[in-house]
Copies of this chain bind each other. A is one copy, B any other.
């Protein structure tokens, strides 16, 4: 087989829709992975050509075992490699010579085992580059598509059930365990991709390809990192416009201490960057593996709610209260039912039932009662979705209730999720719901969490629709290296105080007179970041004499606290009116680019941790969200004796700072602390900056 070629959508197409597959390293020994891959490929029902290459000739599953790749007849555009690590580079070469441009390397023993493996993996990459071959793996369990169908894994059969969830995983073991677990949970998959060491193909490459699949309704990611933050955000942002993406990102606690020149730098970390990146890209972030798939099942099967008000329908008080708690914990609330719904429920239900949300029909509730009340609730304009609680009813079969619920919920454009409590007594009902694609959960807490994910998805799509094309800000060409921090932020239209460097007492007095009293004096030193920590800031200086004394005092303090710091003199600036003080800052994440911070400033910022992060550049909605998330932001509107100040000016400054950071890759960190927010406007009182490499 040589020289076969065909039109393809992208270089990754053969991994997903191959015309023919060859297993290199197929084996007749059932305990070998090369046997498992061959077995699954055939058992999957894959309709393209299937060929096996092995060291020994013979037959396997009634097909010939070829001893050389070149003997394999066309068409083949995907090779699955299960040869020993040191034989892999030459196997890739052989693929190249035969015109195969896609290879999945199942074998482990590369980068993950140390220096020797790293070298071997590099040789694979080089061999692949030479021929323009795309590599999946090494050290992965391959790919799987239940609809095509195609199974290039060695996992124990049967293949997962068909479904609308596609799963992209950095961990093969995790994917394998999930596949087994999903069987018992009763949900299926569309595509599964195990990425392994990502010598070539990574999560960002695969995501848009999987999103193209017509059977994929939800994409689930298990991530240990991302290869390139900016590209990931770009790719994911495109995908989430059309299909929901949920991620479990692990390694939250791996990053240790780091040196930082600013509060923003100290508080920002790779986790804050991931949160900000997922938020920007519209990726829902799950906290646990269970949540990942609880959410995926709801997003696969349910219409999206139009708001956060939810109704609870139950036949028992206790679980109803659990559900009500859980709605609140997931940012949802109990809908206030309309008068007309309350009338309908009151007429229909026995007088001892509770018609107010949560609607408790009592233990005697029949299948018909469930259906009728569910219909009333779904028709209520205040109800955006219903959480139905169904423990085994004492007088009826649970599956009969299920049938009746399905009749109603299938005809609704509002989500209905079921807390199906129990096990053996509800098993039949679980299958009944499954067949009708209504998600069930063993406890109300998990059902409420799934509804929360639906609401988040709906809100993301609504915001996304509104915010398109909002990013516009003039670019500023000056390099930050040539400017003082204050000058740089001023070029972006952020208001600063008049600030002048003075080198002696007399100069300070002259400047103070020029600016007008009262003034503020600050020690000027590139080495002293936290000036107030050493008493390096004097406020409310009202007279010439105070300026003179202040100059001497600042010098004395600086020399005493930091004798080795380079002291340039004293900055003198106008004292600005009282207002609220906040911190805004930017720090460059190595992968995602500038991360913007907003929150409570001052010297306690690192202790209070009342801060929010988002990725630059910010749009209006993102800046507003940062304000909403923090106490510093919420109190801009005023609180008790604290007067309201100009919230719009903060939003404006945040957006401007985000563009500054976005357009100046040479700025490692920049921070305005405080930004004093006045009744009208906001002024950068102190600006610090760190240039990359400085």
By a beta-carbon cutoff of 8 Å, the part of chain A in contact with chain B is: 31, 33, 108-109, 112-114, 117, 154, 156, 169-174, 176-177, 180-181, 183-185, 222, 224, 248, 250-254, 287-290, 315-319, 321-322, 324-326, 328-329, 351-352, 362-363, 391-392, 394-395, 421-426, 442-446, 530, 532-535, 603-604, 607-610, 631, 634-635, 639-642
In the complex the two chains form, is A392's CB within 8 Å of B610's CB? no
Please give, as numbers and ranges, the residues of chain B lying within 8 Å of A392 by CB-CB distance: 156, 176-177, 180
When A and B form their complex, which 10 residue pairs have the shortest distance between CB atoms, in order from nearest? A171-B318, A173-B316, A113-B352, A184-B423, A180-B422, A177-B421, A177-B391, A174-B318, A253-B328, A533-B641
Most buried by B among A108, A180, A248, A639: A180
- Cα distance A363–B131 when bound, in Å? 32
In the complex the two chains form, is B635's CB within 8 Å of A363's CB? no
Q: List 11 A-B contacts (CB under 8 A).
A: A33-B394, A156-B392, A173-B319, A180-B423, A184-B424, A185-B423, A224-B321, A287-B445, A290-B445, A530-B641, A603-B641
- Cα distance A600–B395 when bound, in Å? 55
- Cα distance A67–B535 when bound, in Å? 92
CB closest chain-B residue, reference A333: B253
In the complex the two chains form, is B181's CB within 8 Å of A422's CB? yes
Please give, as numbers and ranges, the residues of chain B lying within 8 Å of A324 by CB-CB distance: 251, 253-254
Q: Using known A-B contacts A173-B316, A177-B421, A325-B250, determine if residue A445 contacts B289 with beta carbons closer than 8 Å.
A: yes
- Cα distance A639–B363 when bound, in Å? 58
CB of A33, distance to nearest CB on chain B (Å)? 8
Please give, as numbers and ranges, the residues of chain B lying within 8 Å of A31 by CB-CB distance: 395
Please give, as numbers and ranges, the residues of chain B lying within 8 Å of A530 by CB-CB distance: 640-641
- Cα distance A112–B350 when bound, in Å? 12
In the complex the two chains form, is B181's CB within 8 Å of A442's CB? yes
Please give, as numbers and ranges, the residues of chain B lying within 8 Å of A318 by CB-CB distance: 169-174, 222, 224, 250
| 8 additional A-B residue pairs with CB within 8 Å, beyond A31-B395, A108-B363 | A113-B351, A113-B352, A173-B318, A177-B319, A181-B423, A222-B318, A250-B318, A288-B326
Oligomer copy total:
2
- Cα distance A316–B535 when bound, in Å? 53
CB closest chain-B residue, reference A442: B181
In the complex the two chains form, is B425's CB within 8 Å of A325's CB? no
Please give, as numbers and ranges, the residues of chain B lying within 8 Å of A635 by CB-CB distance: 604, 607
In the complex the two chains form, is A174's CB within 8 Å of B352's CB? no
In the complex the two chains form, is B351's CB within 8 Å of A114's CB? yes
Please give, as numbers and ranges, the residues of chain B lying within 8 Å of A174 by CB-CB distance: 316, 318-319, 322, 391, 421
CB closest chain-B residue, reference A318: B171
In the complex the two chains form, is A608's CB within 8 Å of B610's CB? yes
CB of A424, distance to nearest CB on chain B (Å)? 6
- Of the candidates B183, B325, B641, the one whose C-beta lies within 8 Å of that of A535 is B641
Please give, as numbers and ranges, the residues of chain B lying within 8 Å of A641 by CB-CB distance: 530, 532-535, 603
In the complex the two chains form, is B173's CB within 8 Å of A424's CB? no
CB of A649, distance to nearest CB on chain B (Å)? 20
- Cα distance A192–B391 when bound, in Å? 18
Please give, as numbers and ranges, the residues of chain B lying within 8 Å of A109 by CB-CB distance: 352
CB of A543, distance to nearest CB on chain B (Å)? 18
Please give, as numbers and ranges, the residues of chain B lying within 8 Å of A176 by CB-CB distance: 391-392, 394, 422
CB of A337, distance to nearest CB on chain B (Å)? 17
- Cα distance A426–B181 when bound, in Å? 9
- Cα distance A222–B316 when bound, in Å? 14
- Cα distance A627–B675 when bound, in Å? 31
Please give, as numbers and ranges, the residues of chain B lying within 8 Å of A639 by CB-CB distance: 603-604, 607
Q: Using known A-B contacts A114-B352, A316-B171, A631-B607, determine if residue A422 contacts B177 with beta carbons closer than 8 Å.
A: yes
Q: Using known A-B contacts A443-B289, A443-B290, determine if residue A321 contacts B251 with beta carbons closer than 8 Å.
A: yes
CB closest chain-B residue, reference A154: B394
Most buried by B among A184, A391, A444, A534: A391
- Cα distance A169–B610 when bound, in Å? 39
In the complex the two chains form, is B180's CB within 8 Å of A426's CB? yes
In the complex the two chains form, is B290's CB within 8 Å of A180's CB? no
CB closest chain-B residue, reference A110: B352
In the complex the two chains form, is A533's CB within 8 Å of B180's CB? no
CB of A520, distance to nearest CB on chain B (Å)? 17
- Cα distance A349–B307 when bound, in Å? 55
CB closest chain-B residue, reference A321: B250
- Cα distance A631–B603 when bound, in Å? 13
In the complex the two chains form, is A634's CB within 8 Å of B607's CB? yes
- Cα distance A224–B322 when bound, in Å? 9
- Cα distance A174–B443 when bound, in Å? 10
Please give, as numbers and ranges, the residues of chain B lying within 8 Å of A640 by CB-CB distance: 530, 533, 603-604
Please give, as numbers and ranges, the residues of chain B lying within 8 Å of A609 by CB-CB distance: 631
Please give, as numbers and ranges, the residues of chain B lying within 8 Å of A117 by CB-CB distance: 352
- Cα distance A641–B607 when bound, in Å? 13
- Cα distance A534–B641 when bound, in Å? 7
- Cα distance A329–B288 when bound, in Å? 11
- Of the candidates B183, B426, B444, B631, the one whose C-beta lies within 8 Å of that of A608 is B631
Please give, as numbers and ranges, the residues of chain B lying within 8 Å of A443 by CB-CB distance: 288-290
Most buried by B among A177, A183, A326: A177
Please give, as numbers and ranges, the residues of chain B lying within 8 Å of A288 by CB-CB distance: 326, 443, 445
- Cα distance A421–B251 when bound, in Å? 19
CB of A527, distance to nearest CB on chain B (Å)? 17
Please give, as numbers and ranges, the residues of chain B lying within 8 Å of A421 by CB-CB distance: 174, 177, 180-181
- Cα distance A493–B424 when bound, in Å? 63
